[in-house]
Structure formats: structure tokens, C-alpha cells
Amino acid sequence: ELGAYGEIHGDDIRTHALSSFALDELARDAGSVDADKAWTAHLARMAENAAFVPELPSTLQAELRDYQVEGFQWLGRLAHWGVGACLADDMGLGKTLQALALLLTRAKDGPALVVAPTSVCLNWIDEAARFAPTLNLKLFGPGGRAATVDDAGPFDVVVVSYGLLQLEAARFKGRRWHSIVLDEAQAIKNMHTKRSQAVMALQGDFRMAATGTPLENHLGELWNLFRFINPGLLGSADQFQLRFAGPIEKAQDKRAEAGARTRLKRLTAPFILRRTKAQVLSELPPRTEIVVPVELSAEENALYESLRRQALDKLAALEAPEGQKAIEILAEMMRLRRACCNPELVAPGAGIASSKLATFARLTTDLLENRHKVLVFSQFVDHLTLIRHYLDAQGVAYQYLDGSTPIQERKRRVDAFQAGEGDLFLISLKAGGVGINLTAADYVIHMDPWWNPAVEDQASDRAHRMGQQRPVTIYRLVARGTIEEGIVDLHRHKRDLADSLLEGTEMAARMSPGDMLEMLKAGLGR
């Protein structure tokens, strides 16, 4: 058991200093344990840090809720101890505000760096101006970039997008920061990307990750997150796979799986704080989710079935390694998913009407007649373009945002929608699924289901968050008898890795190429 927490060197087992929480818990479970003075002193220092209660800064211009005060104090304790933290509160619970309160307490001792998605950077500037006016926030990009980094001092907070950090990695690598905050930290889930490498090269005294989805697909994402906040705690990537990810995700041996999950929770729990809306926001209005089945026309069904059979024939003739075959399968699945959205996306000029667009038209006509405001998400920008053409023809006022929208224009459109300009807000899932507040809307429509329900939930929470006064209804449009039903089925049966780690439910493996191929083989009338 003890060997699973460290490396064996002869007769000794060497463990990471931050595994102390787990080892202390293990020792208490074992009953009487002989320990030397160094271990006893180490436990005493841990207890002293646990008793440390940081005071809210007097310059914070906000009344924090009780759970936000607790979050700030938890962050402050770990910062005082000199270890990293992951604030994994549910979307919309004010992670930015809790982080700003912490940055205020540390501001006098040196500069801070905030790394965030482009769409969220200006939100940091706005919230700091409102809640922490004594902080001097600087957006990296405009003006002298070298001076922004090199001259940063006490009370300065440099805000940079993940994209610019990657481009300017050498510049940021050479500077040490008193505090570093990664916002929407799931952005570094892939350890092999240049973005992840740029983040890992940063030097900081205190490292914090903020994310509502610490795990989206598999446990390797959690390993990379901890590689940033507390390097070495979970071992190397190979060690992590052997000790934790393999036994848990493959689940071939239930006893081994349960043991690995318990050990992983013991190691990570002291450094992750997660509260859900249901736990802390009893006053938040209810949220209703409705799957709207879309019956495709005979012409759409014929097109879909033709594409599906072409895909299977192509894949049957493909001779490639499993990894390459998985990419090809995904490409064919993507084509089928686009056909479900609108035939024009896969057969332009064929003149086949879209049943999904007709369903959308009926839904929005009814909602607008009853004076509701609606967020409309799709992962396909050209799908949104076709919806825009329909709305333009109907004379419906709307706002629009995708990955090509400039950062200042994003803010202008969000503010305009919140102020009442436009009845609908069309948003690409990737560009607008995080970091923006759109509580003016009380309805959300997902035009096409995404593989991971957590990503859709993040998008829906643009409306269902603090400040929302009305019940929120979420519609998912799903084409019957198609791959979209397979995706929704996956939502229903896939165990959320984050919940299993934080709440103890079972885990399931990621989809294999074989699983994907089975989904592709499912024809009409499933």
C-alpha cells in the first residue's frame, strides 16, 4: 500500500513531500505507527498551516458569500504554505472573485500573472476594476510587450491569453512571478501541446488553477493539471498511468480499481476545492433540460444513409495503425454529424431542406412571441451561418460570436445583449462556452450534441449562473435514428471522471476506436 505513494529505493520508499496528507490518513487507518521526530515535526507544521486563517483584504470592493469566503481562506492557506491549488468550483460560482481576493493579499510582495482564454481576458480586467481597484491590471498584447512583462512589480497583474503565452513563451519563461493563476485551466489538459509546454515553463511562487471541469475526458488531464500546480506529486506520466489511470480507467480488476481510486483521492483532495451550485446556491432558479427529437425527412434520411455506407466502405478498405484509423473514423463521424445539422453543410446546392432548422424556427418563434431571450450554440461556425441567413430573412435581431470575433468586439456584443440589444445570441461552442455572463437569456438551445456533456454544461451555464433570476430551460436538438442519438446515449451512460474522483462514483474508460466504429455502424431506426 505504502509503495503506491512513492518510489522504492532499496529498503526505503521515497515519497513527495505533499503526499503527507495521504500518508497521515493511511497511518491513522493503520492505528499505532512508530514515527521519527522529523515526521512528527512535519505533521505539526502541517497542522499549523491548516490553522492559518487569512483575513479578507480591506480594499476588496465586494460582499463575498460564505462559500466564497471559505474558498478565499482555503486558497490563502495553501499559498501561505507555499503549495499549489486547484479551485474547481462549478461554473458561475465566482472563481474569478475568489482569486482576485487572494491576489490582493499577495499584491504588495510582487507581480501576478493571469493566463486565460482570449474570451475571458477582458472579463478579468472588468472584474478587477470593479472589485479590486488597487490592483493594476495590464492586458498583454497592446503596446510594449517587453515592458509589460519586464517592468511588472507589486500590485501589477499581467493578463495574457493562452495563445499569446504560447507565441511569447521565451519572454514569459525568463520572469518569476509571485502568483500565477491559470483560468479555465482545462485549456492545458493535453500534456503534448505547445500551450501546455509554455505553461509548464512559467516560474511562480504560488500557482493556482481555476476550472469548472478539472477532468473532461480522462485522468491524464488531471495529471497535467497537477504537474503545473504541484509538480511531482503524482509521479511521472508513466508512473501515473501504472499506479492510477490504468487500473481505474480499464477497470479490469474491481479491487485494484477501488484501491487506485482511493489512493488518488487521498493524494489530490487536499489541493482541490470543488463546490457545486446545488450545494451553495439554494436561491438559484431551477434548470430544466429537454431533448427535442428531430424527425429527418425522407430526403435527409437517404442522404445520411448514403454517407454512412460510404464511410463504412472507406474504413473497411483502410489499412492504417489504430491511431490513424481513429482519426479517420472521427472524420467520417464528423461528416455524418454535419449532415444531421443541415444537408447544405455536406451536399451544398442539393436543395434538401433542413428539418433541424425548421424545428429551430418553430421553437424560437414561440419563445420570441413570449418575450424570452435565447442563447444558441453550435460547434460548427458554418451551421451558425445558415441560421443567421434564416434570422436575417425573418428580421430577427441577434448578436453573434465565434473564434474570429476580436476580443474588444466580443465584450461589446456581450454587453449589448445584456442591455437588451438582440433577442438571440448565436455562439460557437468553442469560442463562447466559457467565461462570459449572459444572464439576460433564460433559454438555451444546443443545435448539435457534443461528445462530452461537461462542455455543453459549461456553455449552458453562461445563462444559469449567479445573477440569473428566472428559471432556465435548455433544449438539445437531436436528429432521430442518427449518430446524434448515439452521442446523447453516451452522455447518459458515460460516468463523469471529475464526479467520480471528487464524489466517489464509478469511472469509465474513454471511447476506443472500436467503440466509435460501433456507433458509426448503427444505422437508421436504432
3-state DSSP call for residue 492?
helix
How many H-runs (helices) and E-runs (strands) does the chain carry?
A: 24, 15
pTM above 0.75, yes or no: no
Closest CA to 514 of 331, 326, 328: 326
What is the rounded CA–CA span in Å between residue 52 and residue 81? 9
Q: Which three cell numbers stand for residue 299?
A: 430526403
Q: Rounded to the nearest 5 degrees, what angle is found at the Cα of 518, between the Cα atoms of 512 and 523?
A: 150
How far apart, in whole angstroms, are the C-alpha atoms of residue 460 and residue 289?
Answer: 10
The predicted structure's pLDDT at residue 526: 38
For residues 99 and 323, give the distance between their C-alpha atoms in angstroms, rounded to a whole number: 40
Count CA within 13 A, CB hemisphere, residue 422.
Answer: 23
For residue 65, give the C-alpha cell: 458569500
The cell numbers describing 324, all together, are: 490513424
Per-residue pLDDT of the chain (526 residues; tens, 9 = 90+): 545 555 555 555 566 666 555 555 555 555 555 565 665 665 666 666 666 788 999 999 998 988 899 999 999 988 998 889 999 987 778 899 999 999 999 999 999 999 998 878 888 998 899 899 999 999 998 778 999 999 999 999 999 999 999 999 999 998 999 999 999 998 898 889 999 999 999 999 999 999 887 777 778 888 999 999 989 888 888 888 888 888 877 766 677 777 788 888 888 888 899 887 777 777 677 788 888 889 899 999 999 999 999 888 888 887 767 667 778 888 888 899 999 999 999 999 889 999 999 999 999 998 998 889 999 999 999 999 999 999 999 999 999 999 888 888 888 999 999 999 999 999 998 877 676 788 888 899 999 988 777 778 778 888 887 777 788 889 999 998 898 888 877 665 554 555 656 553 222 234 455 665 665 666 554 3
Q: Counting beta carbons within 10 angstroms of the beta carbon of residue 207, is it exposed (0 to 12), middle (13 to 18) or buried (19 or more)?
A: buried
Residue 344 is given by DSSP the state G
Q: Is 15 helix (H, G, I), strand (E, B) or coil?
A: strand
Residue 407 C-alpha cell reads as 476580443
For position 459, what pLDDT does the model report?
82
**Angle (deg, nearest 10), helices 20-30 and 37-51:** 110
Please enumerate in sequence order all residues whose Cβ is within 8 A of that of 161, keeping only pairs 6 or more positions apart, or say none: 115, 116, 117, 118, 121, 140, 141
Q: How far is CA 206 from CA 161, 317, 352, 489, in A?
A: 19, 53, 57, 41
Residue type, 270: P
For 119-241, where are the E strands, in sequence order?
136-139, 156-161, 176-183, 203-210
Cell readout for 74 is 482555503
pLDDT for 263 equals 81
Instruction: List, as one string, the DSSP characters of 62-104.
Output: S---HHHHHHHHHHHHHHHHT--EEE-PPTTS-HHHHHHHHHH
**Nearest to residue 175, comparing CAs of 112, 109, 81?**
112
Residue 440 neighbours by CB distance under 10 Å: 21
Nearest to 341 by CA among 390, 374, 403: 390
Residues 6+ apart with CB under 8 A from 160: 113, 114, 115, 116, 121, 139, 140, 141, 168, 172
Q: 121-127: long-range contacts at Cβ-Cβ below 8 A with a sequence spacing of 24 or more?
A: 121/159, 121/160, 121/161, 121/407, 122/407, 122/408, 122/410, 122/411, 123/96, 123/435, 123/436, 123/437, 124/96, 124/157, 124/159, 124/183, 125/159, 126/411, 127/96, 127/97, 127/100
Residue 504, pLDDT score: 33
Any idea what DSSP says for residue 55? P
Residue with cell 525568463: 174
Distance, CA of 45 to CA of 77 (rounded, Å): 12
Report the alpha-carbon distance of residue 415 to residue 397 in Å, rounded.
Answer: 15
- Strand, coil or helix: what is 386? helix
Query: In this structure, which long-range contacts are made by residues 515-520, counting pairs with CB atoms below 8 Å and at least 24 apart in sequence?
Result: 516/326, 516/329, 516/330, 516/333, 517/315, 517/329, 519/333, 519/483, 519/486, 519/487, 519/490, 520/308, 520/311, 520/312, 520/315, 520/329, 520/332, 520/333, 520/336, 520/483
What is residue 312's three-state secondary structure?
Answer: helix
Nearest CA among 430, 426, 371, 436 for reference residue 399? 426
Residue 507 confidence (pLDDT) = 29
Given CA atoms 101, 498, 26, 30 in this order, what sign does their dihedral have?
Answer: positive
Q: What DSSP line would sit under 214-276, residue for residue?
A: S-SS-THHHHHHHHHHSTTTT--HHHHIIIIIHHHHH-SSHHHHHHHHHHHHHHHGGGEE---
Residue among 124, 115, 122, 68 at smallest CA distance from 96: 124
